[in-house]
Structure 1
C-alpha cells in the first residue's frame, strides 16, 4: 500500500505499510510553531499520544489506536516475542489482541468512534479466525487481518470526509445565491482525521466550489484547537476570508455580520440527535438559535450512537485542572471544573451531515437517527 498520509500537505500521521509497518503522528500540541512527528512503535505509545491530546479528533483517535496495534503486532520486538511464546493457539492469540484493544479503549471516554472501531475490528478478527483454513498460521492470519482492516479504515476515512464535505456544502447552499460565510469551533480538519476533515471538510468543499466567502474560527478555550490548529489549516490552505475570533465574540459577530451557518464536528451523536462535541459548542448553538443561524453537525457514520436515547447518557471527559489553570494563568490554588466536551440538544441542530447523506430533524425538532442508520 505504500505510505499513507492526509489528502493535502497537512499530514496528521505518516504510515508506511509492509511486513514491518511504521507509524508516526504529528504532535499537535506544538502546532503552529513546530511540526514534529512522534514515532508510535506500540499500543502504549498510541495510548499515550491520545491521552495527552498530542493527537485529537474523534476519527483520528480511532485510526491512530488501530494503526498503533497493527505496528505493535508486526514490528515491535517485545510484542513479537510474546506472540512467539503463545505459538499458534488461536484462542490465546485472540485474547492477547483483544486485551490490547481493551487497553486502547481506556485512552479517552467520550468519542464513540474509538469504541466503534474497536468493536468492528474485533468482529473482523472473529470472522478471520472462524474462516481460517489451515493455510499458513492462525497468528499470521490474525495479524494480517488487523493490518488489512486498519489500512482499509484509513482510506475509508478520507473518502468519507470528502462525501461529508460535498453533502454539507450542498445543504448549506440550498436556497442561497452567491457565496456563504460559515463559523466553526475546535478543529475538524485534516489534523483531526486521516485527511480532508469533517466540519472543516465542508469548508474545503465550499472553497473548491468557489462558494466560500469566509470562514470564522473560534479559538476554542482552553486548549485553543481553533486558534492553533484550525487557524493553521485555514492559512495553509489559503481559505478565503479566514478570521479568528475569541469564543465569547461569537454572538457579537452573528449580531453585526452575516453568518450563513455554523458547522461543527461531533464525538458522539445520540438516537435523538443530541450531540457531544468540544466544550463551547453548546454555547455557540444557543447563540446561533438566538440569531436565526442554522447549526450543522458534521458527523461520520461511526460517530452515530443509536444505543443512547439522548445526550444524558454520554460520558463527558473531565480534564485535569492544571490544563485550564496553566493556560489561563490563574492562581494555582483556585478550584477548577474543566470538561472537555458538552452536549448540544437536538433542538438547536439544523442537520447532521454524514457521508451517506444529511439527517434532517422531525417536526418536533428531534432526529430519528436509528431510522437513518
Structure 2
C-alpha cells in the first residue's frame, strides 16, 4: 500500500502547469483545478484548495517554478506565496530551497519542485515504518484533521503511519475526529481510509473525551505544521485538547512530521504565529448561517501542544520519545 498505487493525487504537474484536487468539495465532488501563476497558486493555498503542511510546501515550490516558466519576477512570486499561510513552516522551507538555487532557469526550478515532491513521498514511506514500529498489535487509533495523501506528496504523515501499521496487522480500528470548522476529518480522512478499506469510525470532536474515558483508543496520532526546538508542536486546532485528554486517560500521543516541519530557530511554541481565519468559517457551514446574525466568533486555525504531553515525534530519520531540545537536535541534524 503505497502512495504510488493511490487512486487519487492531490498535486500533479502536467506539462507546464500545476493541477490541484480541490479539497474543499471532497468527498462528494472530484474537481481538479489548473494553475499557471504563483499568484493563483497562493490563492489556492490561502483558500484551502490545497492544505496540509507538506502539501502546501510542495505546491508553493511548483508555484515559484510557474512564474519562472512565464518570465515573471521571482522575488514577487516568493513574496506572494510566503504570505499565503503564516503557520506552516514547510511553506517557507520550500520557497527558501527554490530561491537558494540562485537561478531563474525554469527547467532547473521545475526539476527542483519535482524533487521536493518525490522526496516528500519517500519521507512519508520511511516515517510510516518508523511510526508503525511503536504500535502494538490490536491497537485502536484516534487521529485528527487530515494527514494523508491529500495533505502531503503521497502516503501521508500520521495517516501514513496508520496505513503502514494497518498493513502490518497492528491496527483494529481508527477513529477520525471530525475537525471543525473545515471538517477535514469527516470529509477527507474518513474518505481516504475508506478508499484503502481501513476500518474507520467518525467521531464528533466533543465526543473524544467520552471515547477515551471508555478505554476506546490506545494512541492519538496527529501531524504537525511547525515543531520548535524544545518539541512543542503547532497543529490543527483541537490537537492540544486531545493531548490533554490522552494524558489524563493514560493514552499515548504520537506526532508525525518530516524534518522540514522543525523550526529550530524558535525555542518554544510560544513564538509560533497562530493564523486567525475568518469568523464566517465558524458561524456558517457550507455557506449557510448556523449562528445568529451578528454573532462574533474566534477562529484560530492551529493550537500548540507542549512537548511534555507528547510521547513520540516521528520523522523520516527516525523518532524521539519524550522529546527534548537535546534529542530533537540530534535527530534533525543527523
- TM-score interval for Structure 1 and Structure 2 normalised by the shorter chain: over 0.9
Structure 2: distance between partners of 1:49 and 1:149: 21
Residue in structure 2 matching 1:70, options 58, 65, 69:
65
Aligned to 1:10: 8
Structure 1: distance between partners of 2:5 and 2:181: 28
Instruction: Name the larger-Rg structure.
Output: 1
TM-score, structure 1 as length reference = 0.84
Structure 2: distance between partners of 1:68 and 1:366: 34
The alpha carbon displacement at 1:147 in A equals 1.1
Q: Residue by residue, what CA displacement relative to the aligned partner does 1:297-353 show, whole Å, maximum 9, x if unpaired?
A: 001110011000000000000000111111271113112110000000001000110
Residue in structure 1 matching 2:131, options 142, 153, 168:
168
Given that residues 279 and 341 in structure 1 are in contact (C-alpha distance below 8 angstroms), is that contact kept between their aligned partners in structure 2?
Answer: yes
Aligned to 1:187: 146
Given that residues 27 and 191 in structure 2 are in contact (C-alpha distance below 8 angstroms), is that contact kept between their aligned partners in structure 1?
Answer: yes
Aligned to 2:206: 248
Aligned to 1:317: 275
Indicate yes or no: 2:87 matched with 1:110: yes
Given that residues 312 and 322 in structure 2 are in contact (C-alpha distance below 8 angstroms), is that contact kept between their aligned partners in structure 1?
Answer: yes
The alpha carbon displacement at 1:366 in A equals 6.5
Structure 2: distance between partners of 1:55 and 1:225: 12
TM-score, structure 2 as length reference = 0.94
**Per residue, is there more helix in 1 or in 2?**
1
The alpha carbon displacement at 1:367 in A equals 6.2
Indicate yes or no: 2:237 matched with 1:279: yes
Aligned to 2:215: 257
Residue in structure 2 matching 1:151, options 94, 114, 131:
114
Given that residues 89 and 263 in structure 2 are in contact (C-alpha distance below 8 angstroms), is that contact kept between their aligned partners in structure 1?
Answer: yes
Indicate yes or no: 2:316 matched with 1:358: no
The alpha carbon displacement at 1:257 in A equals 3.3
Structure 1: distance between partners of 2:45 and 2:225: 14
Given that residues 218 and 247 in structure 1 are in contact (C-alpha distance below 8 angstroms), is that contact kept between their aligned partners in structure 2?
Answer: yes
The alpha carbon displacement at 1:234 in A equals 1.3
Structure 1 residue ranges (4+ consecutive) displaced by more than 6 angstroms after TM superposition = none
Residue in structure 2 matching 1:32, options 7, 27, 30:
27
Structure 2: distance between partners of 1:258 and 1:337: 31
Aligned to 2:309: 348
Structure 2: distance between partners of 1:200 and 1:339: 23
Indicate yes or no: 2:51 matched with 1:56: yes
Q: Residue by residue, what CA displacement relative to the aligned partner does 1:33-66 show, whole Å, maximum 9, x if unpaired?
A: 1000011111111001100011100000011111
The alpha carbon displacement at 1:69 in A equals 2.4
The alpha carbon displacement at 1:371 in A equals 2.8
Aligned to 2:284: 326
The alpha carbon displacement at 1:105 in A equals 0.4
Structure 1: distance between partners of 2:5 and 2:88: 23
Gaps of 5+ in 2: none
Given that residues 346 and 366 in structure 1 are in contact (C-alpha distance below 8 angstroms), is that contact kept between their aligned partners in structure 2?
Answer: no
Structure 2: distance between partners of 1:366 and 1:179: 33
Given that residues 273 and 368 in structure 1 are in contact (C-alpha distance below 8 angstroms), is that contact kept between their aligned partners in structure 2?
Answer: no
Given that residues 186 and 219 in structure 1 are in contact (C-alpha distance below 8 angstroms), is that contact kept between their aligned partners in structure 2?
Answer: yes
Structure 1: distance between partners of 2:319 and 2:118: 22
Structure 1: distance between partners of 2:230 and 2:59: 29
Given that residues 179 and 205 in structure 2 are in contact (C-alpha distance below 8 angstroms), is that contact kept between their aligned partners in structure 1?
Answer: yes
Structure 2: distance between partners of 1:357 and 1:332: 50
Q: Residue by residue, what CA displacement relative to the aligned partner does 1:266-289 show, whole Å, maximum 9, x if unpaired?
A: 000000000000000001000000
Given that residues 131 and 314 in structure 2 are in contact (C-alpha distance below 8 angstroms), is that contact kept between their aligned partners in structure 1?
Answer: yes
Structure 1: distance between partners of 2:48 and 2:125: 25
Matches within 5 A, 1:130-149: 139=104, 142-149=105-112
The alpha carbon displacement at 1:73 in A equals 2.4
Given that residues 319 and 331 in structure 2 are in contact (C-alpha distance below 8 angstroms), is that contact kept between their aligned partners in structure 1?
Answer: no
